[in-house]
C-alpha cells in the first residue's frame, strides 16, 4: 500500500476544527450569494484570493466576514452537515466541532434555535454520513467579558445534547485584559461537567499555555506549539501527557510558522509529548484532515508508525465513550496489521 493509500484508509478523528472555518468554498459561495453585500466574493477565483492571509489579525478579519454570512439556524446546520460529508470522504469517524455561540448571538440568532440546529445536524451527520459529532463551545477571547458571559450562558442554559467541552480561542494577546472573566467562566463550565479545551500557545509564548494549565484546568490544548520555547513546560507536558492539537498547515497560513519544514511537530514528538493532527479551518487553508497527515509524512518526515500513533492519540484524547474509542482503535489496528501492500 502506498503512503497515500495508507493515509486515505486510516480511520481518523478530528479534534480541532471550527464550524465557520469548516465551510467549503461551495458553501461559502452559496451563502455569499444568499446574503449579498457582506464583502465576501461570490466567484471562485476571487474567493481563493480572499483566503490569502497576511497574518493572524487579517485571518480573524476574514473569518468574521464569513461568520456574518451565517444568519439563520439553517445555515448552521448546513455547515455541520457539510463538514460531516467532507470527513466521511476521508474515513473520518468522529469529530469534536468547535462552535462559537457569541458569533451567532451577534447575528441575532436565539440560543434555542442554534441548539436545535446543532442537535438536528449531529443526528443527520451520523445517519447520513456515519460520522459521530460532538461539540465544543468556545469564547472568542478578543470580545472579552460579554463573549464569556454569552458562551457560558448558552453552554449551561441551552446546550446541544452532544456538547462535551468549553474552549477559548481568538487573539491570544488580548486575553490578559479579561483574565478573571475567562477564569470564572471556565470554573463554572467545568463544574457543570464540561471538559476544559482552550487554545493556547499558537500566536503567543509559553506563558499562555501556563495560564490555561494553571488557571483554566486545561485537559487538552489547541495548538500549543509555543511549548518548545520553554524546557520546563516541555517537561511538564511530557510528564502529564496533556494532549496537544497540532494544526501544521494552519500555523503556516496564519504566519505563526514561516515554512512548513520549520514546524515543531517532529520535535514535539521526539520530546515525548502527546500530540494529535488536526485541520483547524480546512477550506480556508486549502487543506483537509487527510492532507495534514500527508504534510506530516512528506514535509516533516513522519513514517507510517508515527502517523498511526497520531491517529490513535486523537482517539484516546477524544471525549468518546470507551466503546466508541475501542471501535475506532480496532479499525486502526486492523489496517496496520494487514500484510504489506494489500488494500484495506
Nearest CA-CA partner of 121 in 33, 22, 55: 22
d(CA 167, CA 122): 19
The answer to whether 251 touches 225, Cβ cutoff 8 Å, is: yes
> How far is Cα 70 from Cα 59, in angstroms, rounded to an integer?
17
Instruction: Name the grid cell of 83.
Output: 463538514
Q: At what angle do helices 144-157 and 179-191 cross, to 10 degrees?
A: 10
**Residue 202 annotated among the catalytic residues of the structure:** yes
CA distances, 224 to each of 260, 261, 325, 336 (Å): 16, 18, 24, 29
Would you say 202 and 174 are in contact if contact means Cβ atoms under 8 Å apart? no
- Which of 96, 172, 202, 211 is catalytic? The answer is 202
The CA-atom distances, in angstroms, between 178 and each of 95, 144, 149, 217 are 29, 6, 12, 17
Strand partners, 99: 137
The catalytic site residues sit at 202
Amino acid at each position: 500500500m502506498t503512503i497515500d493509500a495508507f493515509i486515505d484508509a486510516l480511520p481518523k478523528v478530528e479534534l480541532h476544527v471550527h464550524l465557520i472555518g469548516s465551510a467549503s468554498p461551495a458553501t461559502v459561495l452559496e451563502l455569499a450569494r444568499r446574503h449579498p453585500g457582506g464583502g465576501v466574493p461570490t466567484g471562485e477565483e476571487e474567493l481563493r484570493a480572499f483566503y490569502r492571509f497576511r497574518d493572524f489579525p487579517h485571518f480573524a478579519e476574514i473569518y468574521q466576514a464569513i461568520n456574518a454570512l451565517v444568519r439563520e439556524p439553517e445555515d448552521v446546520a448546513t455547515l455541520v452537515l457539510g463538514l460531516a460529508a467532507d470527513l466521511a470522504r476521508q474515513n473520518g469517524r468522529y469529530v469534536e466541532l468547535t462552535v462559537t455561540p457569541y458569533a451567532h448571538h451577534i447575528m441575532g440568532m436565539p440560543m434555542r434555535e442554534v441548539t436545535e440546529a446543532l442537535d438536528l445536524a449531529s443526528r443527520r451527520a451520523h445517519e447520513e454520513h456515519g460520522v459521530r459529532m460532538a461539540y465544543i463551545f468556545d469564547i472568542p477571547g478578543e470580545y472579552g467579558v460579554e463573549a464569556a458571559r454569552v458562551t457560558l450562558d448558552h453552554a449551561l442554559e441551552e446546550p446541544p445534547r452532544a456538547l462535551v467541552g468549553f474552549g477559548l480561542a481568538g487573539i491570544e494577546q488580548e486575553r490578559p485584559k479579561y483574565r478573571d472573566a475567562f477564569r470564572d467562566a471556565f470554573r463554572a463550565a467545568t463544574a457543570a461537567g464540561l471538559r476544559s479545551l482552550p487554545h493556547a500557545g499558537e500566536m503567543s509564548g509559553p506563558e499562555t499555555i501556563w495560564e490555561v494549565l494553571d488557571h483554566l484546568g486545561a485537559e487538552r490544548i489547541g495548538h500549543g506549539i509555543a511549548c518548545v520555547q520553554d524546557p520546563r513546560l516541555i517537561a511538564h507536558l511530557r510528564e502529564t501527557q496533556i494532549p496537544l492539537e497540532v494544526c501544521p498547515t494552519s500555523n503556516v497560513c496564519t504566519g505563526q510558522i514561516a515554512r512548513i519544514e520549520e514546524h515543531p511537530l517532529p520535535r514535539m514528538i521526539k520530546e515525548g509529548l502527546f500530540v494529535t493532527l488536526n485541520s483547524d479551518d480546512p477550506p480556508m487553508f486549502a487543506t483537509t484532515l487527510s492532507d495534514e497527515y500527508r504534510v506530516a509524512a512528506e514535509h516533516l518526515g513522519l513514517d507510517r508508525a508515527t502517523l498511526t500513533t497520531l491517529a490513535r492519540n486523537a482517539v484516546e484524547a477524544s471525549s468518546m465513550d470507551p466503546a466508541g474509542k475501542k471501535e475506532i482503535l480496532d479499525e486502526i489496528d486492523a489496517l496496520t496489521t494487514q500484510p504489506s501492500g494489500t488494500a484495506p
